[in-house]
Amino acid sequence: MSGAGNVVSPLGGMIATRLALLRAIRGGDLVEARRVLSVQSADDLGDPIDALIETVGVYQEELRLQSEELQLSRARAEAASARLQHVFEQLPVPAVLLDRGGAIVDANHAAVRRFGLDLRTGRAHLLRRYVAADAAYRVSEALAEARLVGQTLLSDLPLALPDDRSGVADLYVTPLESGTDQVRETFLCVLVDHTAQRELSSQLDLAVRAGGVGVWDLDVLSRQAHLSAIMQSHLGFATADVALEDWLARLHPDDARQAGDDLARAMVHTASYQSEYRVVHPDGTVRVLHILGAVQRNAAGRPVRARGVCHDVTAERMAEQQQRARDLAERANQAKSEFLSRMSHELRTPLNAIIGFAQLLDASGDPQSAKQRSHVKQIEAAGWHLVHLVNDLLDLSRIESGHTELRLEPVDLGPALQAAAQIARSAVKIHRDITVEIESQPALRVHADDTRLKQVLVNLISNAIKYNRDRGHVRIDVHVQEAWVSIVVRDTGPGIAPAQVARMFEPFNRLGASTDVEGTGLGLSIAHRLAGLMRGQLTATSVQGEGSSFTLRLPLAAPAASSPSALPIDIDLDGEGTIDVLYVEDNLANAELMREVLSLVPGCTLRLARDAGEALAQWTAKRAHLLLVDVNLPGESGLDLVTRLRARDGHLPPWIAVTADVMPATEQAVKSAGAIALWRKPIDVAEVLAELDRQRTALQQASPAAARVA
C-alpha cells in the first residue's frame, strides 16, 4: 500500500506539467515554458498543449499591442505635460506651484518677475513671505481649505513685494491630485493682481473728491438712487440711498419741470443725460448743480440703470451773473461817457459863439446902459457855468467808470498851492474882498497826481471864497504827521448844520445854497473821489455861524535833491570816511541798478545780499550804517529779516523798505516795522540821493563813538 501511495498517476503528472507551464507563461518566462515542454512527452501533455501554445501566442501579441499603446499614451502624456508647462509659463498673471507647506515648487515667468524669485538657489521660497505680515495666515488657511473642498478663492490679499513695493491681488488656489489615492499635496496658485486698478481707482477717487464731483447711480426699475458722500452734500441728504421722488422734491420749483423733461428725454430717446438746475436744501440754501450721466438699457432697449456725476456750479454761475452785471454796468458807463462826450461837443460849439460874442460886447467901446452891460455879463456867466458843468460831468463819468488815469509821483506842495489859489481867485466871479492866506511852510512834497491835486485844491479854495461872507477870510494850513501831509482849507462863511456835513460829497447836492452862488454841485464829489484815487482822504467839518473846514490828507514824499554833486564829498566817520550800506535784493538787475545809483555818491559803499540768510551772515560779520531791504525776498521775507535782526540786537540802524508792491497793506506793514522810508520800484533816484544825504548828515553830526559801527 505504501508503495502504491508514492506512485504518480499519469493524470496527475499531466496536471502538474500543465500547471507549471501556465505559471511560466503567466510570468512571461518563455524559457521556462520551453523547458517544461522539452522534458515532457506529448502523451503527458495531450492535445491541449497545442491549444495552449496557440493561446500563449495570442497573449504575447496582446501584450505587445498593450506595450505599444502604453508607450503612445506616455508620449501623449509627455506632450500634454509640455503643453501645460508652456501654458503655465506663458500665463500673463503670476502662477506658482506650492507644496503642502506653502513653499514654492515652481513659478512661471510672471511670478518670477513679480516676486523677484530665483528658484536656482535651491532656497525655499514661502509664498506667505510675499504677503503683508498681518495677512500671511490667510495663505495657510486657504491651502488647508483647498485640501478639503477643492478650489478656493482668497480675495483682496495684500502683498508685500521686494523693494518695499506693495500690492493687492485675488489668489485662486487649486489642489492637484496625485497617486491612486488622490492625495492633494501640490497646489496651483494663480494671482490676479489688482494693484494698478486699485491705484487708478484711488487716484480717480482722489481727483473726484478734490474736484468736488458727486457720483450717483439710479436703479430705474426700483427708482432708488445711491449717492456718493459729495453727491449727498450737493443735494442736502444725510443718507446714501434715497428715492428718486425725494431727489426730485429738492429741485427749485422754477426748475423742476425742465429737469423732469431732461430726465424723461434721456430715458426715452438718448443714451446720455445732461441737465442743470437749482436745488433747495432743508436749511433753505440754494445750490446750482450740473448733472451728467449715461443711461443703460436691456436687450429690449428699455432703460434699467443710469449713472453719472454732478458738479456744484453755484460759484461759477454767481461769478457769471456778476460778470454780466459788470459788463452791463460797463456798457452803460461807456454809453454814458460817449453821450456826455458828444453832448460836450454839441454844447461847446454854440457856447463858443455865445461866450465869445458876450466877451466882445463887454469889451467893445460901444455905449451901453448899465442894464445892458449886466445882461451881457449874465450871458457870459451862464455860458461858463455850462462849460464847467460839462467838464464836471465828464470827470465824474470817468471816475465812476474807472477810466481816470493818474500818475502818482512826488509833487512840490508849495507851488501847487500858490497856483491853485491864483486860479481860484481868477475863476470866482464874485468879489467881496475875500483874503486868502497860505501858511508859510518848508519845502514839502506829496505823492499825488500833479494835475488832479491842483484840481482838488482849486475846488476847495474856490468854494471857500464863494461860500464866505463879505470881507471874509480863507486860511490854508499845512501839517505833517509821520508819513502824511494834511492840507486844511478854512473859511469864515456861515457854515452848515452838522446833519448835513455827511451829505457834502453827494453829487448835485448843494445843501440849499443860494442860486446866486455859481457852481454845478459836482466839485466836492469829484474832489472827494480824486483824493481817494491818490491814496489820500478828504474830510469836512463845519460849525454854523463860524465856517467850514476841509482837510486833504496825502502821503508825504521825500524832498527833492538838487543834484548828486551837492552832496558833501569828504566824509570822516571816525576815520572810516564812508557810509556802509547793506542792500538785500534777490533780483540781480535791481541790485546792479542800486549799485549804479550809489556810485554817484562819493564816500558810500554798497554790500549786496541775495536773501535773508546771506544778509544775516554779512550783518553778523559787519553791521551797516544803513539797511536797504527788498520786502518780497524768496523764502524769509524782508520784514521777517528786519524782525529777526531787531530781536537779536535789540535795535536797528535806519532801514528803508524797497518794493514793487503798491498795496496799502504793504505800506502799513512797512510803516509798522519802523522803516524811515518806502521806496517804490521803479525808484526815484532823486529820492534815494536825498535820503542818503540826510543819513550822512546825521552820521556826521553824531559823535565818533555813535557813528562807529561794531
Identify which of 32-36, 199-203, 302-306, 496-500 has the greatest average pLDDT.
302-306
Lowest mean pLDDT among 156-160, 646-650, 684-688: 684-688
pLDDT at residue 710, as a whole number: 38
Question: Mean of the per-residue pLDDT values for the chain?
Answer: 78
Q: Give the whole-angstrom CA distance, residue 88 versus residue 82.
A: 10
Give me the half-sphere count of Cα atoms (radius 13 Å) on the Cβ side of residue 456: 30
Residue 360 confidence (pLDDT) above 70: no
Strand partners, 628: 583, 656
Number of H helices, E strands in the chain: 23, 23
User: What is the SS3 assignment for 437?
Assistant: strand
Residue 598 confidence (pLDDT) above 90: no
pLDDT at residue 570, as a whole number: 33
Residue 453 confidence (pLDDT) above 80: yes
Residue 569 confidence (pLDDT) above 50: no
Q: Give the whole-angstrom CA distance, residue 421 versus residue 395.
A: 21
List the alpha helices (DSSP H) in 467-576.
498-501, 523-533
Omega before 162 within 30 of 0, i.e. cis: no
pLDDT tens figures, 368-405: 777 787 777 777 667 666 766 666 777 677 676 666 77
Lowest mean pLDDT among 256-260, 324-328, 358-362, 587-591: 358-362
Q: Give the whole-angstrom CA distance, residue 541 versus residue 538.
A: 11
**Percent of the chain scoring above 70 in pLDDT:** 73
Dihedral, 101, 106, 110, 116 alpha carbons, nearest 10 = 70
Among all chains, which residue has been given the C-alpha cell 455860458? 383
Buried b (16+ CB within 10 A) or exposed e, 614-636: ebbebbeeebbbbbbbbbebeee
Q: Give the whole-angstrom CA distance, residue 226 versus residue 216.
A: 6
Nearest-10 crossing angle of helices 612-621, 638-649: 30
pLDDT at residue 430, as a whole number: 59
Long-range contacts of 665-668 (CB under 8 A, 24+ apart): 666/631
Give me the half-sphere count of Cα atoms (radius 13 Å) on the Cβ side of residue 144: 5
Mind giving me the DSSP string for 197-239? HHHHHHHHHHHHHHTTEEEEEEETTTTEEEE-HHHHHHHT-SS
**For residue 41, what are the CA distances in angstroms to 9, 20, 102, 452?**
15, 14, 68, 154
The set of residues, in sequence order, having a beta carbon less than 8 Å from that of 396 and lying 6+ positions away, is 507, 522, 525, 526, 529
- Residue 181 DSSP label: T
Lowest mean pLDDT among 14-28, 83-97, 500-514: 14-28
Q: Give the whole-angstrom CA distance, residue 691 versus residue 693.
A: 5
Residue 392 is placed in which grid cell?
464836471
Omega before 92 within 30 of 0, i.e. cis: no
Question: In 100-164, at which residue ranges do the beta strands (DSSP E only) sit?
Answer: 104-107, 152-161
Q: Give the whole-angstrom CA distance, residue 639 versus residue 670.
A: 7
pLDDT tens figures, 396-430: 776 766 667 778 889 889 888 888 888 777 666 55
Among all chains, which residue has been given the C-alpha cell 443860494? 514
Q: Could you tell me whether strands 213-219 and 104-107 are parallel, antiparallel, or unpaired per DSSP bridges? A: unpaired
pLDDT tens figures, 599-632: 777 778 889 999 999 989 998 888 888 899 988 8
pLDDT at residue 278, as a whole number: 94
pTM comes to 0.38
Strand partners, 104: 98
Higher-confidence residue of 709 and 343: namely 343
How far the first Cα of the chain sits from its last, in Å, is 151
**For residue 533, what are the CA distances in angstroms to 399, 448, 453?**
9, 9, 11
Once rounded to an integer, what is the mean pLDDT over residues 705-709? Answer: 42
- How does residue 686 score in pLDDT terms, banded at 50, 70 and 90? low
pLDDT at residue 428, as a whole number: 67
Q: Is 511 left (phi over 0), alpha (psi -120 to 50) or beta?
A: left
User: What is the SS3 assignment for 295?
Assistant: strand
Lowest mean pLDDT among 126-130, 264-268, 456-460, 551-555: 126-130
Going by C-alpha positions, the residue among 198, 199, 191 that lies closest to residue 117 is 191
Residue 22 is placed in which grid cell?
501556465
Residue 18 is placed in which grid cell?
500543465
- How does residue 253 score in pLDDT terms, banded at 50, 70 and 90? very high
Residue 520 confidence (pLDDT) above 70: no
Q: Is 122 left (phi over 0), alpha (psi -120 to 50) or beta?
A: left
* 512, 495 Cβ separation under 8 angstroms: no
Q: Give the whole-angstrom CA distance, residue 61 versus residue 45.
A: 24
Q: Give the whole-angstrom CA distance, residue 583 versus residue 624.
A: 10
